[in-house]
Amino acid sequence: MNDDIHEMAAVWLQAQARDDMDWQAFTSWLEADPRHREAFDDVALLDERVDGLRDELARDHAANDLDGDVDGVAVHGRGRLWRWGGAAAAAGIILAVGGAWLSKPVVEPVTYAAATGVNRNVAVADGLSATVSGGSRLTVRGAGRLSLQGSAFFDVRHDPSRAVVVDVSGYEIRDVGTRFEVASDGVSVRVAVTQGAVSLRAPGSASPVRVDAGYAATGGADGQVRLVRTDVTAVGGWRSGRFVYDRVPLSLVAADISRFTGEPVRTESTVGGQTFSGVLARGSRDSMVESLRQLAGVRTRREGDAILLGPDPRR
Amino acid sequence: MADPQSPGVIRAGCPLAAVAACRGRMEPAASTSPSGLVLLFAELRAELVRFLAARTGSPADAEDLAQELWLRIQGVQPGPIGNGRAYLYRAAQNLVLDQVRERRRREAREAHWHAAAAASADGEVIDSGPDALDAMIERERDVALARAIEGLPEGAGRVFRLHKLEGLSHSDIAARLGISRSGVEKHVAVAMAHLRRAMGTEV
């Protein structure tokens, strides 16, 4: 596309600031050639981009003026943008995360907390809903960024224009259209996928692990991710009154009971990583722990307010 | 996520009632009331639809956007609106621009998504973060744009900076430089065309 068309488009764009803008003549100009429309799109978006950078550019501009370049025309010094550009060239692509000066406006985070023992359904956005389990909290930080404390089941409609990212226990789960369950206890996480696939990235790791439907991934405090097959009908069972486990670390089972009942249940480190398969009915902490004790073959003892799960010496 | 009703969602455009203020292109004055705006819309509907069709290249989109515009002006709070006709056109213009911006963003993301999907063909590792990549691409474009502004030809560049960076109006610049107002517009237009060429279509 040649400059002439873009120049004309830019003249039309500026004319719109005026109350005597001839909108019908503009319409006729657009109708005369489909390239006019595209040129106008280009110029209007470029204009927005310049406006978005104005403060930063004006600072550079003013700094240059102070350097003695009164018209700001001939020679330009190196303001902040330039330093950033040089650094970017030197450091490769890592800088995307750095410097906040150009960051877009941030929407206030919204937190959905589910009361003890009561699951909460949340329509996060069009095509993205979640069931937050009792005692858990889901925070929506905007632009598809969520963080979770506790457990939740997510249902994400496929939409190629967005990714949904869940931060949990330092891990990052990334998804573009699936149904999956997340359980966490602050340091470890378990993701079970019933449909589609998600990626799970351990803290500090560059290479995420892909978790397909029918699999569950467990990530521990050590940053190691383990994949196991899982029964998809068991995933998210807690939403209908049963906690269904398929090789889930005991520490996460204990975290589920704590959150659900609002009373602490912990594991000794020697059994926390031991996995449990079975079904616990919703109930009081004591009844859930008793079921778990029998099914998992662990010993229970009280420690202050908490019930502590430890190894059964008879086994 | 594109649902403006949802919490935590950043909407690309401005709320229409605030659109003019947002873009700094509305001169407040008293005449047309909100209900007057709705009446004016009914009167101008045909020409607005024709404009929207020319602007989008799609008669179907034009009808949808006209409907959207009508809905939005119902919600305009009572307040002074100077030139109702210009207001409606600018509002229509902004609706189109929201759509164009969103489409180009989507296309860029889809291209990225396909690239990421291809990279994960081994089924083990998938992409390392489109958000970070998006942000990086945005910043690279901003840096490229700043460089392109630096490289503008002298006359056009000077006028462009006075107008876009220092915020002087066309008539202020015309008075200051002793040229006509249309001369100022021409300089800015030349600068914009330069920038567009320097940036390619990726703006």
Length of chain B: 203
In whole angstroms, give the CA distance from residue B171 to residue A70. Answer: 21
Smallest Cα–Cα separation from B66: which of B83, B97, B41? B41
* DSSP, residue by residue, B19-73: HHHHHT-----S-B-HHHHHHHHHHHHHHHHHHHHHHHS-HHHHHHHHHHHHHHH
A21: nearest CA partner in chain B: B86
Do B81 and B153 belong together in one domain? no
Do B100 and B158 belong together in one domain? no
In tens, the pLDDT along B91-121 reads: 899 899 989 988 887 776 666 555 555 544 4
The residues near B98 (Cβ < 8 Å, ≥ 6 apart) are B12, B13
Q: For residue A59, name the pLDDT band (cuts at 50, 70, 90).
A: low
- Closest CB from A84, A97, A125 relative to B132: A97
Mark which residues 146-165 of B lie under 8 Å from A by CB. 146-147, 149-150, 154, 157-158, 161, 164-165
Mark which residues 227-246 of A lie under 8 Å from B by CB. none
B136 touches chain A (CB under 8 A): yes
Higher per-residue confidence, B60 vs A240: B60
- If one counts the domains in chain B, the total is 2
Number of CB atoms found within 10 A of residue B149's CB: 24
In tens, the pLDDT along A98-112 reads: 222 223 334 567 888
Tell me whether residue B43 is in a domain.
yes
- Closest CB from B100, B109, B167 relative to A45: B100
Which residue in A1, A2, A11, A200 has the most chain B C-beta atoms within 10 A of its own C-beta, making it the best mutation to test that interface? Answer: A11
A54 touches chain B (CB under 8 A): yes
Residue numbers in B near A11 (CB within 8 A) = 185-186, 189
Tell me whether residue B195 is in a domain.
yes
CATH of the domain at B69: 1.10.1740
Tell me whether residue B111 is in a domain.
no
In whole angstroms, give the CA distance from residue A26 to residue B54. Answer: 9
Structural domain range at position B23 = 16-105
In whole angstroms, give the CA distance from residue A257 to residue A137. Answer: 15
Looking at residue A235, what is its pLDDT? 81
Question: What is the mean pLDDT of the segment spanning A266-293?
Answer: 87
Please say whether the beta carbons of A147 and A167 come within 8 A.
yes
Boundary residue ending a domain (B73, B105, B137): B105
Do B76 and B152 belong together in one domain? no
Looking at residue A1, what is its pLDDT? 52
Pairing of strands A145-149, A120-125: unpaired
Residue numbers in A near B10 (CB within 8 A) = 104-107, 142-143
A92 touches chain B (CB under 8 A): no
Boundary residue ending a domain (B71, B89, B105): B105
Which residue in B163, B192, B194, B202 has the most chain A C-beta atoms within 10 A of its own C-beta, making it the best mutation to test that interface? Answer: B192
Higher per-residue confidence, A86 vs B131: B131
Please say whether the beta carbons of B160 and B149 come within 8 A.
yes
Smallest Cα–Cα separation from A14: which of B101, B137, B193? B193
Boundary residue ending a domain (B72, B105, B138): B105
What sign does the CA torsion over B6, B8, B12, B14 have?
Answer: positive
B122 touches chain A (CB under 8 A): no
Tell me whether residue B1 is in a domain.
no
- Closest CB from A31, A47, A81 relative to B146: A81
Mean pLDDT, chain A, integer? 78
Do B24 and B79 belong together in one domain? yes
Share of residues in chain A with pLDDT > 70 (%): 81
Number of CB atoms found within 10 A of residue B53's CB: 20
In tens, the pLDDT along A193-233 reads: 988 888 898 888 777 888 888 888 988 888 888 888 887 77
In whole angstroms, give the CA distance from residue A56 to residue B162. Answer: 15
Q: How far is B63 from chain A (nearest CA, A)?
A: 16
- Does the pLDDT value for residue A133 go beyond 80? yes
The DSSP H or E segment spanning A80 is helix A80-91
B103 touches chain A (CB under 8 A): no
Question: What is the mean pLDDT of the segment spanning A36-44?
Answer: 94
B50 touches chain A (CB under 8 A): yes
- Closest CB from A57, A124, A128 relative to B146: A57
Q: For residue A297, name the pLDDT band (cuts at 50, 70, 90).
A: confident
A75 touches chain B (CB under 8 A): no
Q: Phi and psi dihedrals of A46, rounded to 5?
A: -60, -40
Do B38 and B77 belong together in one domain? yes
Tell me whether residue B113 is in a domain.
no
- Does the pLDDT value for residue A69 go beyond 70? no
Do B135 and B99 belong together in one domain? no
Residue numbers in B near A210 (CB within 8 A) = 120, 123-126
- Closest CB from A10, A41, A176 relative to B192: A10
Residue ranges, chain B, pLDDT below 70: 1-35, 75-82, 108-137, 201-203
The DSSP call for residue A9 is: H
ipTM: 0.76
Q: How far is A159 from chain B (nearest CA, A)?
A: 9
Looking at residue B116, what is its pLDDT? 53
Domains of chain A, start order? 3-97 (no CATH), 106-232 (2.60.120.1440), 241-315 (3.55.50.30)
CA triplet A251, A255, A259: central angle to 5 degrees? 175
Tell me whether residue B194 is in a domain.
yes
Q: How far is B39 from chain A (nearest CA, A)?
A: 19
Tell me whether residue B10 is in a domain.
no
Do B101 and B136 belong together in one domain? no
**Strand runs labelled E in chain A:** 110-113, 120-125, 128-132, 137-140, 145-149, 152-156, 164-168, 171-175, 179-184, 189-195, 197-201, 209-212, 215-219, 225-229, 242-249, 265-267, 275-281, 298-303, 306-311
Residue numbers in A near B135 (CB within 8 A) = 96-97
Q: Which amino acid is at A286?
A: D
Do B93 and B134 belong together in one domain? no
Do B97 and B133 belong together in one domain? no
- Rounded (to 5) percent helix, strand, coil in chain B: 70, 0, 30
Minimum mean pLDDT among A43-47, A78-82, A91-95: which range?
A91-95
Tell me whether residue B51 is in a domain.
yes
In whole angstroms, give the CA distance from residue B7 to residue A46. Answer: 29
pTM, whole model, 2 decimals? 0.47
* DSSP, residue by residue, A122-156: EEEETTEEEEEPTT-EEEE-STTEEEEES-EEEEE
Number of CB atoms found within 10 A of residue B142's CB: 20
**Contact state of B164 with A126 under an 8 Å Cβ cutoff:** no
In whole angstroms, give the CA distance from residue B65 to residue A302. Answer: 65
**Contact state of B189 with A49 under an 8 Å Cβ cutoff:** no
Higher per-residue confidence, A48 vs B117: A48
Higher per-residue confidence, A282 vs A10: A10
Give, to the nearest 10 degrees, the angle between helix A3-15 and helix A23-32: 160
CATH of the domain at B152: 1.10.10.10
Smallest Cα–Cα separation from A156: which of A138, A133, A129? A129
**Contact state of B128 with A206 under an 8 Å Cβ cutoff:** yes
| Structure-token pair, residue A72 | 């700001």
Smallest Cα–Cα separation from A183: which of A174, A196, A171, A175? A171
